[in-house]
Amino acid sequence: MTNDDMMIHDLAVLKARLAADAQRDGVLDIAYRVVDSPVGQLLLAATEQGIVRVAYAREDHDAVLQTLADKISPRILNAPGRLDAVARELDEYFAGARREFDLPLDWRLSAGFRSTVLHHLPEIGYGQTASYAAVARLAGNPKAVRAVGTACATNPLPVVVPCHRVVRSDGAMGGYLGGADAKRLLLDLEAAA
């Protein structure tokens, strides 16, 4: 083992110990990690209540972490072990072995009608799509089509809460937080199953 390898190993051990100590001492409010996926790197963040944020690289992970610090708590630490279950379920999803997520979710970053919309999105079955208008009806406000679009565009839990399954009434994909390529990949992945 080279000196550089030993330093990298020692740093990893130190980070793991710091994360464990922070968790034990109750000073870790948000754990995060970054995982590779077919749609690029995803930032995963969780509180004690559950996963609170999934962020695409195009959202700027540093800015996302700053927003979490501002809105929830500045006690954030890269503690990958606490997100092992989330990473495993995402891997299973991208491998086509998982159709729905079985994770505790922390919904605190969405409120009001946006939260109502997001809570209804898992009702759109795997491999299916629904129009913004149909989701507005599901959420109890048929005229709130644009508000559904806003809720999807600000979804703090993309992929896990499937806003990618919401499309325009004419069948066109519409916008997506992760970009058009990511939305197409997710829809194609689910359609192939």
At position 37, the amino acid (one-letter code) is S
The single residue of 45, 51, 152, 163 carrying the catalytic annotation is 163
Is 152 considered catalytic here? Answer: no
DSSP annotation of 164 reads G
Tokens for 108? Answer: 């605190």
Helix 145-153 and helix 112-120: axis angle, to 10°?
80
Strand partners of residue 62: none
Rg (CA), the chain: 18
Output the CA–CA distances (angstroms, integers) from residue 133 to 18, 138, 170, 175, in the order listed: 48, 9, 11, 15
Strand 130-131 vs strand 166-167: parallel, antiparallel, or unpaired?
A: parallel
Q: DSSP states of 4-47 as a string?
A: HHHHHHHHHHHHHHHHHHHHHTT--SEEEEEE--TTS-EEEEE-
Question: What positions carry a catalytic annotation?
Answer: 163
